[in-house]
Structure 1
Amino acid sequence: MPKPLYQCRVLVTATSYGVHDPALKTTLESQVGEVVYNQSGRPFTAEELAALIPGFDACIAGLDRFDRQVIARADHLRVIARYGTGVDNIDLDAAREKGIIITNTPAANADSVAELTVGLILALARNIVVADRETRAGLWPRLQGISVNGKTVGLIGFGAIGRRVAQKLSGLGCQILAFDPYTDPASGEGLAHFTSREEVIASADFLSLHCPLTGQTRGMVDAAFLKSMKRGAFLINTARGELIDEAALIAALNEGHLRGAALDVFTRQPPGADHPLLAMPQVIVTPHMGAHSDHAANAMGWGALNNCLAVLRGEEPENRVV
């Protein structure tokens, strides 16, 4: 029999949980026996989680790493309710072996990530970051930007986020091409033209990544991929940093094959002040903030909370991954 909810202990590692809607915390606290929040202001490391996790029945998890060591230490854990979409930081095999249910909140942050993506495309096109930096320095630069109108935007991945990017770009006069082997091309009708991966890569003036991190997509943006992009194109990544071979991207930028890039994610986060990409003026960098908006935080919070409480009650959660 499931433990009564008043006896359950819940660990909340997602740092923005309840920040914009206090009812997320009061609701959770009224339903279970004890709630412990992450006060560090950052995701926990696997080592920190391994020390914390014993005794907890549930976790509402952010970007923290739940590796096999953490799962092995989880002596009471019944659910990891992911506050977001990606589950690549969780050892799913280890969770499955131990009978721990994994849930996520698909599409909860889709609009916010799509908004950032469109913002980065416009910032690259019009040199907004460079213009701001040089104007603040007392200069008055005559920067030559390009118009998004009439250009081709390529989307690798047309799930909830890719589709919303297409929707938000629809009024800007650009052609939108998409590739997604797991999505019905009919879903893009009126928004994007589905075509081959090769054509999307070769045709795009702005190429934006919106695919999950899997064994097949890890490092897919390698030297060959970048070489096949149109000369002078821009690359945008608001998905996962591990999709890109960063050394190959640096080489493509240094050689001038790519005109610029905008990255919200890196292979190692934070990347470190000495990372070569941070020193390149043609690269816009942001701190994995695609989902950091009031709307996304609330949607992810309620989705994770409902999934968590459902499992603790012995019910089937809405968004089970494992």
Structure 2
Amino acid sequence: MAGNRRVLISQKFFDQASLDYLRDQGCEAEVLALPPGRADADLTEDELRACLAGAAGWIVGHARVTRSLLAALPDLAVVSRRGVGYERVDLAAARDLGRVVTIAAGGNDAAVADHTIGLMLAVGRRFRRSQADMAAGKWAIQISTDLYRKTVGIIGYGRIGRSVIRRLSGFDATVLVCTPGPVPPDAPEGVEFVSLPELLRRSDYVSVHAPLTPATRFMIDAAALAAMKPGAILVNAARGGLVDDRALLAALEVGHLAGAGLDVFVSESDPDYREVTAALLARDDVVATPHAAASSREGLDRTNMIAARSVVAVLDGDDPPADCVVADGRSRSQAG
């Protein structure tokens, strides 16, 4: 356990058990005190440099981890995401500079899958409109739609997509999956692997579970939305940017879709879409949450501990679990 073991935690909602684990492993662990309403993504690069000076480990939320930031922090050995997305981290720079980047693989699958099913039910059963009407003194029944025995299209077959599929078995749903590559050998019986056009054409519910990459950005665009079954429901609890929210708003406005369940928005990274987000939030056929799908108490505790264990593994000179490592530049650093 020798050497620099200062660890900065800039993510909110870091539980005491995970903090105690870090300290029990000889880490000088500190949770960054952020003002109310501010997250680490709101900090400037200069502010991040000042906070991270001398740190060997960083458990990060949504801050951008750039080449210039990493270069200014020579002591920083490991950047551990308390989550599974890593599009805000410059992985090439991390490798070039001899750093390790990890994610909390497997920690929030259940929480996001539960949330996804919740969005499907909330939109289909018109919870938002019903409660608003009741609050206004109108107790008229809103005719809604079942999830039971519907056709559900899952775009992406990663951990969360598979977790959603397991939950859908309780609804006797027909499940269609679109994913790159051949049909996985462990695919559940009854799941159909189809092309994206076929999935969009047949599905009553479409749920997006793909990573955000240049290739997948706006994969659900105006053309894809137009190809969806009339009256279908779209759910995105993956990443803002997979769906073109402006095109989604247009599809809702003309009545092509019955509604949308959204946990993520393009405006999270693109201010030009803020008015689009506001318009979506104003609609009674949209049920929205603030990028909160992974943030159950239990899910946060699991991801906190996975992130903490990954940091300790790197500081001990060991390897974190393989599915948690998204960049490892240590061999390059040692060769240099």
TM-score (structure 2 length as normaliser): 0.89
Q: Does 1:43 align with 2:42?
A: no
Give the secondary structure class of the aligned counterpart of 1:243: coil
Structure 2 counterpart of 1:275, one-letter code: A
* CA apart distance, 1:90: 0.7
Indicate the residue corresponding to 2:331 in structure 1: none
Identity across matched positions, percent:
36
Indicate if the aligned counterparts of 1:10 and 1:32 stay in contact, CA closer than 8 A: no
> Gaps (5+ residues) in structure 2?
328-336
Q: Distance in 2 between matches of 1:50 and 1:248?
A: 38
Indicate if the aligned counterparts of 1:9 and 1:32 stay in contact, CA closer than 8 A: no
**Size of the alignment, in residue pairs?**
316
Indicate if the aligned counterparts of 2:201 and 2:227 stay in contact, CA closer than 8 A: yes
User: Aligned runs of 1:92-107 on 2, under 5 Å?
Assistant: 92-107=91-106
Indicate the residue corresponding to 1:68 in structure 2: 67
Q: Does 1:11 align with 2:5?
A: no
Structure 1 counterpart of 2:2, one-letter code: P
* CA apart distance, 1:321: 0.9
Q: In structure 2, do the counterparts of structure 1 residues 183 and 53 end up closer, same or farther at CA, with 3 Å as the change threshold?
A: farther
Q: In structure 2, do the counterparts of structure 1 residues 66 and 171 end up closer, same or farther at CA, with 3 Å as the change threshold?
A: same
Q: Distance in 1 between matches of 2:64 and 2:320?
A: 22
User: Aligned runs of 1:173-322 on 2, under 5 Å?
Assistant: 173-182=172-181, 184-190=183-189, 192-269=191-268, 275-318=278-321, 319-322=324-327
Structure 2 counterpart of 1:254, one-letter code: E
Q: Does 1:27 align with 2:4?
A: no
Indicate if the aligned counterparts of 2:108 and 2:303 stay in contact, CA closer than 8 A: yes
Cα deviations by residue, 1:227-263 (Å, 9 ceiling, x for unpaired): 1111111110000011111111111111111111010
* CA apart distance, 1:153: 0.5
Indicate if the aligned counterparts of 2:11 and 2:40 stay in contact, CA closer than 8 A: no
Structure 1 counterpart of 2:23, one-letter code: E
> Gaps (5+ residues) in structure 1?
none
Give the secondary structure class of the aligned counterpart of 1:60: strand
Q: Distance in 2 between matches of 1:303 and 1:96?
A: 21
User: Aligned runs of 1:101-140 on 2, under 5 Å?
Assistant: 101-140=100-139
Q: In structure 2, do the counterparts of structure 1 residues 172 and 33 end up closer, same or farther at CA, with 3 Å as the change threshold?
A: closer
Structure 2 counterpart of 1:297, one-letter code: L
Indicate if the aligned counterparts of 1:49 and 1:66 stay in contact, CA closer than 8 A: no
TM-score (structure 1 length as normaliser): 0.92
Indicate if the aligned counterparts of 2:177 and 2:194 stay in contact, CA closer than 8 A: yes
Q: Distance in 1 between matches of 2:317 and 2:241?
A: 36
* CA apart distance, 1:182: 4.6
Indicate if the aligned counterparts of 2:106 and 2:159 stay in contact, CA closer than 8 A: yes
Indicate if the aligned counterparts of 1:113 and 1:161 stay in contact, CA closer than 8 A: yes
Q: CA RMSD, aligned part only? A: 1.9
* CA apart distance, 1:11: 0.7
Q: Distance in 1 between matches of 2:288 and 2:181?
A: 29
Give the secondary structure class of the aligned counterpart of 2:55: coil
* CA apart distance, 1:173: 2.1
Structure 2 counterpart of 1:321, one-letter code: V
